[in-house]
Amino acid sequence: MIKKCLFPAAGYGTRFLPATKAMPKEVLPVLDKPLIQYGVEEAMAAGMHNIAVITGRGKRAIEDHFDISYELEHQISGTSKEGLLRDIRRIIDTCTFSYTRQIEMRGLGHAILTGETLIGREPFGVILADDLCVGESQGVMAQMLEIYEKYRCSVVAIEEVAPEEVHKYGVIDGRQLDDGIYMVNAMVEKPGREEAPSNLAVIGRYVLTPDIFDILRRTEPGKNGELQITDALQTQARENMVLAYRFKGRRFDCGSVDGFVEATNYFYRQRCGAEDCDP
């Protein structure tokens, strides 16, 4: 069983400025719950209770969120508001949290490599909290874990995107092995529409085997001068095996204003019991 889940959360969140000037993108709330809490709940639902977070300057609110606030709890104790902290208390009681700082923001691959000290030599999950996922019958990370258990190699989550959107993602070239499961032949980071090998885009959920750290160490900076996880996965696919999994459910790109608004509307309709909100 995989117990550890890594949350790279050191990015600047420039698409959400000025909101993210002094506040981490990961604590922006969809309704009344911070993005990263949705991600941690998804990890927990997959049995991953050791949460490792890559933070950076100005990200202390993340650590404070996953800690007890004695003054606040004392204040609302015995009132009708006590229930509002129930879920976060359950998380704090059942998970461990460890943090390390990425000193220079040199890309997602570099953030994941920074997490080696927290992960060690075991397979682990990765969740990018700004990709908010709603699984169909079970969470997306739990779905991915089932694929990992069967094939024992790195697994990336993919979804079909419109051709004019491929330039925002890592895109795979793969051969279908099973329903929704592809063997990755190649991966390209943010390709132009013409060079994209498919419209199957990698989203912010991964299960990685620990040899990825050694590969990242020998990977040169790629697109935008950043150390790209896509480049390391491409090497891993060539030397070993990487699977891409078309998850069952829905993803909201909460790193963008449009996706964030969509997610907010979706969760609001869910809360109000509207019928048109199947994932």
Q: Which residues bind ligand UTP (CB under 6 A)?
A: 8-16, 25, 54, 102, 105-108, 110-111, 128, 130, 255
**Among candidate residues 167, 211, 156, 210, the one with its CA nearest the CA of residue 190:** 167
The radius of gyration computed from the CA coordinates of the chain, to the nearest angstrom, equals: 18
Q: How far is the CB of 178 from ligand UTP (least distance, A)?
A: 29
Burial of 211 (0-12, 13-18, 19+ CB in 10 A): middle
Q: Is 127 helix (H, G, I), strand (E, B) or coil?
A: strand
Tell me whether residue 34 or residue 151 sits nearer to ligand UTP (CB atom): 34
Question: Tokens 């075991």 belong to which residue?
Answer: 122
Tell me whether residue 16 or residue 206 sits nearer to ligand UTP (CB atom): 16
Q: How far is the CB of 11 from ligand UTP (least distance, A)?
A: 2
Tell me whether residue 111 or residue 208 sits nearer to ligand UTP (CB atom): 111
Which two structure tokens, joined as six digits, stand for 88? Answer: 């976060």
Tell me whether residue 62 or residue 196 sits nearer to ligand UTP (CB atom): 62
The residues near 202 (Cβ < 8 Å, ≥ 6 apart) are 156, 157, 158, 169, 170, 171, 172, 187, 230, 244
Burial of 62 (0-12, 13-18, 19+ CB in 10 A): buried
Q: How far is the CB of 83 from ligand UTP (least distance, A)?
A: 30
CB 6 within 8 A of CB 97: no
Which residue number has the CB closest to ligand UTP? Answer: 11
Tell me whether residue 106 or residue 246 sits nearer to ligand UTP (CB atom): 106
Tell me whether residue 49 or residue 223 sits nearer to ligand UTP (CB atom): 223
Tell me whether residue 27 or residue 145 sits nearer to ligand UTP (CB atom): 27
Q: How far is the CB of 12 from ligand UTP (least distance, A)?
A: 4
Q: Is 206 left (phi over 0), alpha (psi -120 to 50) or beta?
A: beta
Packing angle, helices 35-45 and 86-94, rounded to 10: 50
Distances (CA, A) of 148 to 126, 132, 142, 152: 13, 21, 10, 5
Tell me whether residue 91 or residue 129 sits nearer to ligand UTP (CB atom): 129
Q: How far is the CB of 74 from ligand UTP (least distance, A)?
A: 33
Question: Tokens 């390209």 belong to which residue?
Answer: 188
Q: How far is the CB of 222 from ligand UTP (least distance, A)?
A: 13
Q: How far is the CB of 229 from ligand UTP (least distance, A)?
A: 9
Torsion of CA 25, 28, 33, 38, to 10 degrees: -20
Q: How far is the CB of 201 from ligand UTP (least distance, A)?
A: 13
